[in-house]
Amino acid sequence: MLPKKTQSHFYNNPSYNVSQRAVSTNLQRIIHAICIEKSILLEGPPGVGKTSLVEYLAKKLDIPLYRVNLSEQTDLIDLLGSDVPSDSSSAFKWADGVLLKAMKEGAWLLLDELNMAS
């Protein structure tokens, strides 16, 4: 049984169309990856709906989604986490990065603009 759908999100709009060829192909790839529990790399020209399709599916399946726009400034600390100052002035505590948060929650992690990362 699929999780409850959220009614207030704009992807519930009936005008969102997944029948366009590139979107449909990516949809098939994503569904296949879900079935075999593997990660997937979607590539293609800008503006064909790769990111919005992942956001659409996550919302429809009620799966938490973290999205990170990668750039030259993105550091592994952003993804994995680091020690950060705690409430007391002399102590530090670990703060999970987005990758670890997503893994712990069973969420999807969308690494957008992968080609821009150093």
Q: Are residues 57 and 9 in the same domain?
A: yes
Q: Are residues 49 and 79 in the same domain?
A: no
Query: What pairing do the DSSP bridges indicate for beta strands 92-96 and 108-112?
Result: unpaired
Structure confidence at residue 67 as a pLDDT band (50, 70, 90)? very high
Q: Are residues 93 and 56 in the same domain?
A: no
Q: Are residues 39 and 79 in the same domain?
A: no
Final residue of a structural domain among 43, 63, 83: 63
Domain that holds residue 13: 1-63
Q: What are the tens digits of pLDDT across the range 3-30?
A: 333 333 445 555 667 777 778 888 888 8
Q: Are residues 78 and 47 in the same domain?
A: no
Q: Is the pLDDT of residue 49 over 90?
A: no
- Tell me how many degrees the CA angle 22-27-30 measures, rounded to the nearest 5: 125
Percent of the chain having pLDDT more than 70? 86
Q: Are residues 57 and 87 in the same domain?
A: no
Number of compact structural domains in the chain: 2
Percent of the chain having pLDDT more than 90? 36
The Cα–Cα gap between 57 and 114 comes to 20
Q: Are residues 32 and 75 in the same domain?
A: no
The alpha-carbon radius of gyration of the chain (Å, integer) is 17
Q: Are residues 58 and 78 in the same domain?
A: no
Q: Is the pLDDT of residue 42 over 90?
A: no
Q: Are residues 37 and 58 in the same domain?
A: yes
Q: Are residues 92 and 39 in the same domain?
A: no
Q: Are residues 102 and 45 in the same domain?
A: no
Structure confidence at residue 105 as a pLDDT band (50, 70, 90)? very high
Q: Are residues 46 and 101 in the same domain?
A: no
Q: What are the tens digits of pLDDT across the range 80-94?
A: 999 988 877 778 889
What is the value of pTM for the model shown? Answer: 0.73
Q: What is the rounded (10 degree) CA torsion for 16, 1, 25, 98?
A: 80
